[in-house]
Chain A
């Protein structure tokens, strides 16, 4: 499979592979990457900024250990929202700081989002509040028991 679009070259691919594995904690992270890949720091800097602008890189964030994950109660919420209200719903749900994912899906329950809080009652209360604001009568809350896999790495083929 080739993904050679947006003038992506093999150095871009090498960079993507490298930084999805690790983005160095260093005063000059681009230099660390450049040294590892045998290219110039300026090239790495330019390419990463371009890859971000072109949407290949979403974010650079810390990977949190699974044990720290358990400090909060978490849940997946499925909500049936009228089609006309999807945009409102998206804005409302995203306005809560403790929402991490929020997707429109092909299903009777069309909006699926994840929330976390100190305890489950807080989650229930918040979801109820959202549902009331959106006039949604039908929603489900799936309390998270545990995560089995949190691997977001992708094969980057050329």
Chain B
């Protein structure tokens, strides 16, 4: 069996992604495909998919937005307001009392402003942490 964490960095995007990946693991391509299919059958992974660069696709502004929500009634409405890729419930910190953290994407500054206004209208307390740069590349 292969270590799942080896998959985290992604498949090589080459002429032969699975073949090259198999080579890096020291196994045959056929063997790798069988293992991956087994992992899918066992529910360890759902599928492979590509992560796209949102900025290149026109979402020029992104922000982590922390919100204080007493209950989840407002979640659906909030999710409908803009493109949200990640939403986590986290334990509140006394120094930063928000429990919902959403990764939000906007085409431009104006969309971000509109989103913030809508949150205010909904009486949601929030704080915006605009993305300056991805440090992990």
* Chain B nearest Cβ from A155, distance in angstroms: 8
Interface size class of B (residues with CB under 8 A): 35 or more
With A58-B52, A147-B87 as known contacts, state yes or no: A141 contacts B93, CB within 8 Å: yes
Question: Is the CB–CB distance between B50 and A154 below 8 Å?
Answer: no
* Chain B nearest Cβ from A27, distance in angstroms: 6
Question: Is the CB–CB distance between A64 and B49 below 8 Å?
Answer: no
Kindly report which residue of chain A lies nearest to residue B19, judged by CB atoms. Answer: A27
Kindly report which residue of chain A lies nearest to residue B89, judged by CB atoms. Answer: A145
| Chain B residues whose C-beta falls within 8 Å of the C-beta of A78 in the assembled complex | 96, 129
What 1/0 flags go to B3-15 for Cβ under 8 Å of A? 0110111110111
Q: How many A residues face the partner with a CB closer than 8 A? A: 71
With A103-B134, A154-B57 as known contacts, state yes or no: A63 contacts B45, CB within 8 Å: yes
| Chain B residues whose C-beta falls within 8 Å of the C-beta of A112 in the assembled complex | 64, 129
Question: Is the CB–CB distance between B136 and A94 below 8 Å?
Answer: yes
With A111-B135, A145-B91 as known contacts, state yes or no: A152 contacts B51, CB within 8 Å: yes
Given contacts A59-B9, A61-B11, A154-B59, 7 further A-B contacts (CB under 8 A): A57-B53, A59-B51, A63-B47, A94-B135, A103-B135, A105-B63, A144-B88
